[in-house]
Structure 1
């Protein structure tokens, strides 16, 4: 009995503390100060990759990430625990793994991306069908010919024992500072691996690094009898995927691209006369910042609409009302959330199709606003903002609002356009009165 009384007393004391504790809405921010990507699962083919790629992993450690290194075949692998994801991103450095250990497979990795989380996938020569399937589902198709690699005989890189000219130098195919950072990468990127292709109609995939005009994909041990399928800029080396759910994916055809050796290799005979280092280190680190949402991450807050001259948000509008729509957009930078400034943010007043499309103006502090007149059509409308720009997370905002017609007592009693009808009515009444008098009293 004493034990039960003690437990009951503890329960009452705990309940009292909970009642006195401030609510989560008052003591916690609505949103973390930065996109939460602290814990990364690294799937390795061999533990030796930890030392051979230590510069890349060290850059992630320095930026505060917690890396969980696991062999891809580890039987204890699991992405979820108690129904919740244990990681915010995955790095797959195991191109030849045919079957992942534990509960991880290609489907679970794709579900991970579908949940809005991020992925870095590195393929290489002899990659498995599992890795190819994951890349294909993300919109990237690796070269299918066995043992095919990227070759360039006209701009070879002087690497020891490279008789096939399989070490190639390439420059980024985009100049986006959101994806590749600033200053822009001027040094060539050293690449050795497998090419991939991207469907031209796929606007979710961005070719970040492509082959030079003289590069092509082929098996160096097989004599070519026809022109290669992938040549020049169609030779994809590194691609980025910005999904509709704002998940980000980096797919590379080279595992060595991330290695210490490529980070510290000097430029020699790569089509330029320079003794500087290749730009792999800057290229890979900037890409990792983008894929883990350290850059190009937008959020919209304080979305508000109201009638002109009023401050309270109404439950509905009336046709021909004048209204104002406003919002604030912020971008995550290394110093925190800063105002995002652009001149192409638009809002739609939408019902089946846009009745109003307005470009919003900003005040230089991230506050966007515009005003317009409600169309002379009643129904259920939506305020819609669909903002998608290269490298930035997409903003897809919508809110329904009904629009009603005039009530019977809200119409004007006498309108100028109806004066002819008013005069015709009164003239007919006057004429009928005169006719009645003449009919009754005139003989």
Structure 2
């Protein structure tokens, strides 16, 4: 009975957030309090203690540091340069858009930020070069998603934190996050290649190179920010990789035990401020506070669900009702439909990731397969006009006519294409492993 009540609360939080446009996390906090204290007899301190403090600190610290590259224009200038250098090969422009969005997102801009300044550029390029809106939209959306999934970028860090909270060791969480990144890098390349080379896209584009003005070079602050970002990424990646390669080395184990991406990012934020790379108030304002509240609020409600035994009940039902070979595919489908109307980071992964360890253990599956299937499925439909990615792309249209023309293309072509690609990938992944 209690498990049904918690599941109903999760559904209600998502539905109310979608309906009222109020942050889902706030509804989740309210339900966590009401159910935890009055239905389960927990103390207020116990419910407050369910706030995922470590995830909150890591996301805040990393986003604060990366926000300097956004505030001082480093990422936008870098995107302009990369697009400019591809002006002579318009047929390969979708790949240029994809890799540019991937790189900028991997450097910490995050999914929403990249779409905010890359989507208008991409739609403008579609007008100038003859690139189809579907191809351009999927390239920039997929790129922003893939880069954000990088192990040291925003989504990758969130995934790792959720895995650790679910009981996965740090090193395994790092490898699982790397598997998610690689998977979400491969699928877009296959889809974009099919659109470009199998649908006559290259012939449809204009034969001549599009006109592009050479952007101004990076200034001192932007160059310093770029090098500082690359340095932090190298430090963050080097520690766990060397630990995996040399697990018995005592010195490397000691160094790795002292590494924390949140604390490292905080240190680099201080360095950025001392070097005057950006305004502190603007950097603070650029932190995605709404996303933080949503992730942590839903995390509290999920913790209540775990305390009530809901996750174990659902995991047991799936283990007994679904053949093991179909579990990753089912996870992907469920995640895809949830993502149509809710956030991958704020709702889908916090709700589904805790179910992975018990199901993987019961069925003898590799947890990485299930984690990958969830993210691949959830992000497959993110270009739907009802989801955050699709709505941002629609918002980048310059006229109401182009917006009206793009809406059905995103809903009836791009989203189904992404869903089918994810379904095929998850099926292949399941059968291969």
TM-score range with shorter-chain normalisation?
under 0.3
Structure 2 length-normalised TM: 0.26
By percentage of residues, which structure has more strand? 1
Higher helix share: 2
Provide the TM-score with structure 1 as the length reference.
0.26
RCO higher in 1 or 2 (8 Å CA, sep ≥ 6)?
2
- Max Rg structure: 1
